[in-house]
Amino acid sequence: MTPKARPIYTAEFKAQALGLLALGKPINEVAQELCVSSNVLYSWRRSSPPQGTQGGSAGGQAGGEDSGADALRALRREITLLRAENDILKKAAVILGTKPPLNSGR
């Protein structure tokens, strides 16, 4: 019985997977979506340099700022996460040999 060959992932694929983790997505969910082992993601995260804090407007909030700004910030974060997931899934489709769906809405 021959040992199974280990798949090779590009640095860009690893960086995007770690980007999803940095956005707060659970490791098991990212692993399932990308068809990689959660142990691989843990290893990539352990070996990657620590991410700095993200810049943004959250540091200098005014005392009377309403929750509308917080909701807007949360929605923008979700949009960023969904775009990153979409890009990774498109690249995973190319790696796996399937064609990504055509965007008819844009």
CB neighbour class for 34 (10 Å; exposed up to 12, middle 13-18, buried from 19): buried
Whether the model clears a pTM of 0.85, i.e. scores above it, the answer is no
User: What does the angle CA 102 – CA 23 – CA 93 come to, to the nearest 5 degrees?
Assistant: 30
The domain in which residue 27 lies consists of 9-49+81-99
Give a yes or no: residue 1 inside a domain. no
Structural domains of the chain, count:
1
| Cβ count within 10 A of residue 23 | 16
Q: How far apart are CA 92 and CA 99, in angstroms?
A: 10
| Cβ count within 10 A of residue 76 | 11
Give a yes or no: residue 57 inside a domain. no
Q: From first to last of its 106 residues, what are the pLDDT tens digits of the chain?
A: 567 777 888 888 888 888 888 888 888 888 888 888 889 989 988 888 765 544 455 455 555 556 788 888 888 989 998 999 898 888 888 888 766 566 765 5
